[in-house]
Amino acid sequence: MLDNLANINGLPQYIRIRESIRERILSGELVRGEKLPSEDELAMVYGVSRMTLRQSLADLIDEGLLYRKHGVGTFVALQQFARDHTVLRNFIETSKEEGLNVEEKLLDARLTSAKFQVARALNLEEGDKVVCLKTLRILEGNPITIHEAYFDHVKFSDFLEGNIEELSKDLLAYYESKGYKVKRGIQRLEARSIENDIAEILQIDESTPLLYKERTLYTAEGIPVEFLYCYNRGDLYSVTINLTT
């Protein structure tokens, strides 16, 4: 370990230590979710003061590679998934293109009556029949997102009769096959406290932040196609938005 540090000449000690720990994380030597040795132990291994070591760790915490649990210790952060919300793209295909291992688990698929918010978003009457599709998305073995999508049963009456697990992997393609090509969406994001049932499915405790999303998808003609409730793990999921002038 100290030999590796010697290869980075002319840099302050805290930077050399920081880069050494970063390399160990990215190479997989330090496993995601693993607890690091104590600061005293690490300072002894690297042959520096505890203050110098803390400066190295602070940079990696700011970068998101490490995180601290008060009274417990410092841990290697789980890999974050940064989603570009400026473009409507298939989640599974996008993840695979980025070399990530992604799965989708079907939680629920049923015919139900549209409640007020769903009916309003889909331009239906309250109580009209809609399909409810609830899925869990798993990234690199970690449950990351619950999708609860609603769409008009009249427009998509054969959905529940098909191979739901396959159709759910690319709903945009399914909608288009029925003559409803999605061209735009409106969504709202907010931070929320997590509910017990959501925490259980996402395998996190109730202190973990939740990134909540509501979204309505439309055709080019302005026809609403889908209304979605989305629950994302705040410790693993981030949003990227392109801003232009």
pLDDT score of 134 more than 80: yes
Which residues, in sequence order, are CB contacts of 227 under 8 Å at separation 6+? 117, 118, 121, 122, 149, 150, 151, 214, 215, 216
- Highest average pLDDT, of 51-65, 98-112, 155-169, 202-216, comes from 155-169
Q: How far is CA 144 from the centre of its chain?
A: 5
Higher pLDDT, 183 or 79: 183
Name the pLDDT band for 83 (thresholds 50, 70, 90): low
- Which pair of structure tokens corresponds to residue 171? 């709903």
The pTM score is 0.70
Strand, coil or helix: 124: coil
Whether pLDDT at 1 is above 60: no
Q: What is the mean pLDDT of residues 198-219?
A: 90
For 53-79, the pLDDT digits (tens) are 999 998 888 877 887 877 788 888 766
Residue 181: predicted pLDDT: 95
CB distance 148 to 195 below 8 Å: no
Of 210, 203, 228, the closest CA to residue 133 belongs to 228
Coil/strand/helix, residue 97 = helix
24-52 pLDDT per residue, tens: 888 888 887 788 999 999 999 998 999 99
In the prediction, which pLDDT does 190 show? 92
Q: What is the mean pLDDT of the chain?
A: 86
Domains along the chain? 2-76 (1.10.10.10), 81-240 (3.40.1410.10)
